[in-house]
């Protein structure tokens, strides 16, 4: 991958890359000027032809989502999902920090294509510095006639606002995000109606991820055929990957979706291998919610299709959490279970109750008070937790189920060894830990 030319991260490291002047000097807003001379339907068709799949986790084709909007709508909103609350994902943060005008340009083009009159960029509350960076860039765009009335003299008007979230993981789900923007508690809505029909303020709404909209800029600049020349079938275009954990060079990297986990962890242009001579025990390759692979499964391709062959929910946010062989797998299980128990919004009974019970079981296993049957209970619970059987409003249940299920299944022998080596009297401890 050494000959790969960065696209989304092309301006990272460039002096004063956040400024409008530098962005324009490097070709910025040329795609917008081109787009405003096209019919909105042409832009939608170009994005559909490119088969740009959403980068926020679900991988749904962006252009197809845009076509779901009613033809007779009179008011449309665009919501940009910059919540990025999937641990430990930080690719959107890098784009906002170093190249905010790329996001703004992608937002304007996408809003024009969908006939949106207002765009709301939803930013996670922890992004304090990034909020000010993005707001300065938006102010520059307004001053330059790139936002507001008759953008670049085209007659197209767009208002752009930043809305800061309140720190809820569930607001990464599009209807939870919409509820939060409306000033309400971030509870996902029952669907249908879907946001394209009834979204923000009960009007037709498109919700796209930050990285997704940044890709729109380059599709308009270079065309759908160019976009499809990058990556494997069905997983086209540049992709950002986050790597964290005990690696030599954690960070945000860009490449085509032909790279493997092994490439990301050991490649010289990526994370450059493990620190202190440690071995890879496990990896959560798509953020926490997609599930885990073992150190023997590193040849998994980081595209939209191969992860399911390893028992994962999908590619997710492509944020790889590397776990070394010095880490107790019981601690990993407890940490994951605790996160989802704390972040469940509580609307759905099986998610509210199931995630908390899984956390209690994982906690007592870590504390040396587990039972062998606890492993069966965890697997059974995850099989009845998710939305695929039609039990839940949003995907948090699935996100909670897959990591716990895969951790227990793939490391069961290690769990059983820990449980068998517990001190006598542990069953009594286990029972008391639940109460």
Write out the two tokens for 161: 């606002």
Tell me whether residue 379 is exposed, middle or buried, using C-beta atoms within 10 angstroms of its C-beta: 0 to 12, 13 to 18, 19 or more.
middle
Round to whole Å and give the CA distance between 56 and 365: 33
Contact 125, 164 (CB under 8 A): yes
Q: Are residues 221 and 248 in the same domain?
A: no
pLDDT at 425 > cutoff 60: no
Span 78-101, mean pLDDT? 95
Lowest mean pLDDT among 192-201, 304-313, 343-352: 343-352
Per-range mean pLDDT, top range of 54-63, 275-284, 345-354 = 275-284
Give the residue-averaged pLDDT of 151-160.
97
pLDDT higher than 70, residue 428: no
pLDDT digit string, tens, across residues 343-375: 999 999 889 999 999 999 999 999 999 999 999
What is the number of structural domains in the chain?
Answer: 3
116 and 34 belong to one structural domain? yes
Q: Among 172-181, 355-364, 388-397, which is the least confidently predicted range?
A: 388-397
Helices 40-50 and 210-222: crossing angle, nearest 10°?
100
pLDDT exceeds cutoff 90 at 391: no
Whether 9 maps to a domain, the answer reads: no
- Check whether residue 67 and residue 187 sit in a common domain: yes
Domain that holds residue 255: 240-324
pLDDT on residue 387: 59
pLDDT number for residue 214: 98
Whether 31 and 104 map to the same domain: the answer is: yes
Query: Which pLDDT score, from 0 to 100, does residue 301 have?
Result: 98
Question: 136 and 46, same structural domain?
Answer: yes
Closest by Cα among 116, 107, 117 to 69: 116
What is the structure's pLDDT at 203? 97
Predicted local confidence at residue 208, as pLDDT: 97
Q: pLDDT averaged over the chain? A: 94
Question: Same structural domain for residues 316 and 354?
Answer: no
175 and 202 together in one domain: yes
Same domain, 132 and 32: yes
Q: Give me the pLDDT at residue 383, please.
A: 85
Task: Tell whether 64 and 172 lie within a shared domain.
Answer: yes
Q: For residue 319, give the CATH number of its domain.
A: 3.10.20.600
Residue of 281, 290, 343, 280 lying closest to 319 (CA atoms): 290
Q: Are 244 and 217 in the same domain? A: no
Q: Is residue 140 part of a domain?
A: yes
Q: Is the pLDDT of residue 325 over 70?
A: yes
My answer on whether 248 and 309 are in the same domain is yes
Instruction: Please tell me the number of Cα atoms within 13 Å of 79 on its side-chain side.
Output: 31
Q: 106 with 158: CB under 8 angstroms?
A: no
User: What CA–CA distance (Å, rounded) separates 49 from 30?
Assistant: 20
Half-sphere exposure in the Cβ direction for 186 (13 Å, CA): 21
- What's the pLDDT tens digit per position in 229-239? 999 999 999 99
The predicted model gives 83-112 an average pLDDT of: 96
For residue 247, the 8-state DSSP code is B
Nearest Cα neighbor of 359 from 335, 329, 386 is 335
CA separation for the pair 65, 53 (Å, rounded): 10
Q: Is the pLDDT of residue 432 over 80?
A: no
On the question of pLDDT at 118 being above 80, the answer is yes
HSE toward the beta carbon, residue 162, CA cutoff 13 A: 23
Chain mean position to CA 349: 25
Quick one: pLDDT band at residue 392, thresholds 50, 70, 90? confident
Domain membership of residue 290 (yes or no) is yes
Of the residues 305, 324, 343, which one is the last residue of a structural domain?
324
For the cut 70, the answer to whether the pLDDT of residue 122 exceeds it is: yes
Do 126 and 49 belong together in one domain? yes
Helical pair 128-143 and 100-113, crossing angle rounded to 10 deg: 60
């Amino acid at each position: 991958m050494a000959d790969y030319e960065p696209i989304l991260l092309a301006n990272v490291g460039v002096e004063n890359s956040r400024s409008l002047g530098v962005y324009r000097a490097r070709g910025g807003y040329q795609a917008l000027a081109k787009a405003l001379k096209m019919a909105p339907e042409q832009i939608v068709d170009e994005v559909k032809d490119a088969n740009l799949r959403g980068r926020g986790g679900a991988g749904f084709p962006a252009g197809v989502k845009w076509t779901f909007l009613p033809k007779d709508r009179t008011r449309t909103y665009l919501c940009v999902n910059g919540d990025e609350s999937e641990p430990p994902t930080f690719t959107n943060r890098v784009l906002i920090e170093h190249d905010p005008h790329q996001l703004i340009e992608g937002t304007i083009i996408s809003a024009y294509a969908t006939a949106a009159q207002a765009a709301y960029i939803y930013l996670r509350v922890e992004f304090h510095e990034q909020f000010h960076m993005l707001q300065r860039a938006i102010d520059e765009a307004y001053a330059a006639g790139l936002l507001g009335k008759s953008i670049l003299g085209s007659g197209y008007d767009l208002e752009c606002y930043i809305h800061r979230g309140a720190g809820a993981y569930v607001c990464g789900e599009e209807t939870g995000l919409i509820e939060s923007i409306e000033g309400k508690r971030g509870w996902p809505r029952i669907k249908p109606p879907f946001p394209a029909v009834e979204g923000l303020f009960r009007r037709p709404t498109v919700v796209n991820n930050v990285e997704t909209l940044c890709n729109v800029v380059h599709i308009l600049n270079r065309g759908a055929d160019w976009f499809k020349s990058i990556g494997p079938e069905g997983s086209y275009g540049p992709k950002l990957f986050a790597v964290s954990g005990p690696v030599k060079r954690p960070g945000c990297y860009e490449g085509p979706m032909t790279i493997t986990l092994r490439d990301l962890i050991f490649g010289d242009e990526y994370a450059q291998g493990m620190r202190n001579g440690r071995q890879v025990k496990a990896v959560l390759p798509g953020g926490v919610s997609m599930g885990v692979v073992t150190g023997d499964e590193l040849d998994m391709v980081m595209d939209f299709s191969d992860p399911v062959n390893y028992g994962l929910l999908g590619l997710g946010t492509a944020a790889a959490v590397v776990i070394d062989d010095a880490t107790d797998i019981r601690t990993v299980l407890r940490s994951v279970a605790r996160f989802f128990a704390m972040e469940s919004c509580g609307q759905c009974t099986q998610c509210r109750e199931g995630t908390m019970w899984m956390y209690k079981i994982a906690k007592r296993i870590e504390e040396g008070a587990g039972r062998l049957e606890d492993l069966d209970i965890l697997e059974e619970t995850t099989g009845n937790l998710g939305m695929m059987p039609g039990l839940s409003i949003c995907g948090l249940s699935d996100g909670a189920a897959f990591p716990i299920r895969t951790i227990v299944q793939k490391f069961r022998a290690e769990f059983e060894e820990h449980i068998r080596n517990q001190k006598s009297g542990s069953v009594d401890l286990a029972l008391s830990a639940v109460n």
